[in-house]
Homo-oligomer: A and B are copies of this chain.
Amino acid sequence: MKKGFASDNNSGVHPAIFKAMEAANKGHVVGYGDDPFTQKAINVFKEKFGTDTAVFFVFNGTGANVLSLSTVTQSFHSVICAETAHIQEDECGAPEKFTGCKLIPVEPIQGKLTPATIQPHLKGFEFEHHSQPHVISISQVSEMGTVYQVGEIRALAGLAHKNNMLLHMDGARIANAAISLDLDFKEFTVDCGVDILSFGGTKNGMMMGEAVLFFNPGLTLNTKYIRKQSMQLYSKMRFVGAQFLAYFENDLWKKTAIHANNMAKLLRAEVAKIPEIEITQPVDANGIFAIVPREIIEPLQNSFYFYIWDDTKPEVRWMTSFDTTEKEIFEFVAIIKELLTAGSRTFQVR
């Protein structure tokens, strides 16, 4: 099928990952994670994040976020997040439904939270009428394509811990963030004070499967029950374990994420030359947000599909992927230019 820029989850599975799944498809193994693939994959995570890390595999990103939050909250808690956060905007209320907690959306700055914007919501502690603030949740990469810098994460972790709260990171695109920051995963998560991490792979070449990492094993006494009760315990889990093993082998994840980010840089550079288009957010990773002339959107979508982010402006979102090619970028940009020219001709004719 025709490729596009709709989402990095519209791409398929990286061939090396597929091959690893096939290799795992031999004989019987015990279900639900007590198999060698899963156990080895857990160990790889421990190598990367520290031996104290508790690792739980789930099916998808929403499941990862809900398991993260469920493990550390009670229903009278609140979770502070960006207004644009996936847990706020794109999970159909799964966090509220499953945790019972209140989500407190905060207007982000370039997709990101800051201590200053969070501070006014840190109130009502010990007051039984008020949902108790308990978690700050940030997305890395943010939903606006921006990346939290190390100092920013440290500051948020400090704020959280000072208030006896926890810092959760939704890392659906954490590989793209790592490349953007040029850091190991550990350096901008556990080392910065992140307490819980939803570690995503699906958007960077895996078929399905995410990992939830807890950096304080004292938190996870009950996580296995919560995972099962939240319908996220996979019977043939070896196929998630095998994927993660391939994902980390020879730094495959790095190659795919570098490529996706590079494609976004290229697209940004090309689009920046087009005066009719305004790039609205820093392009830190593999997403580009831009205001484009309304009349070209639909014809452009017919060539390369993508989503309108904010119809009022109109702002669109273009995501690049591990399998995006330079050729596609140039083809896409060429069509933009053509449509703009055609459009201006149309206007002249009028």
Contacts and interface: CB of A to CB of B under 8 A. Distances in A.
Interface of A: 1-4, 6-7, 9-13, 15, 18, 22, 24-32, 35-36, 59-63, 66, 74-78, 88-94, 96-98, 100-105, 124, 128-132, 202, 207-208, 222, 224-236, 238-239, 305, 321, 323
Contacts of A207: 236, 239
A130 B32 CA distance: 14
Contacts of A227: 128
B25 A18 contact: yes
A92 B130 contact: yes
A59 to B, nearest CB: 5
B62 A233 contact: yes
A230 B94 contact: yes
Contact of A231 (B32, B94, B228): B94
Nearest to A59: B59
Q: What are the 4 A-B residue pairs with the smallest beta carbon separation, nearest first? A: A76-B225, A92-B228, A97-B100, A9-B235
Given A10-B31, A11-B28, A31-B9, A233 B2 contact: no
A93 B76 contact: yes
A26 to B, nearest CB: 7
Contact of A25 (B6, B12, B92): B12
Contacts of A224: 128
A230 to B, nearest CB: 6
A59 B105 CA distance: 29
Contacts of A78: 93
Given A59-B231, A90-B129, A12 B30 contact: no
Contact of A129 (B91, B98, B129): B91
Contact of A93 (B10, B102, B234, B235): B102
Contact of A131 (B24, B36, B92, B100): B92
A202 B18 contact: no
Nearest to A19: B22
A12 B31 contact: no
Contact of A30 (B6, B100, B232, B235): B6
A235 B9 CA distance: 7
A231 B226 CA distance: 13
Nearest to A6: B30
Contacts of A25: 12-13, 15, 18
A24 B13 CA distance: 10
Nearest to A209: B208
A12 B32 CA distance: 13
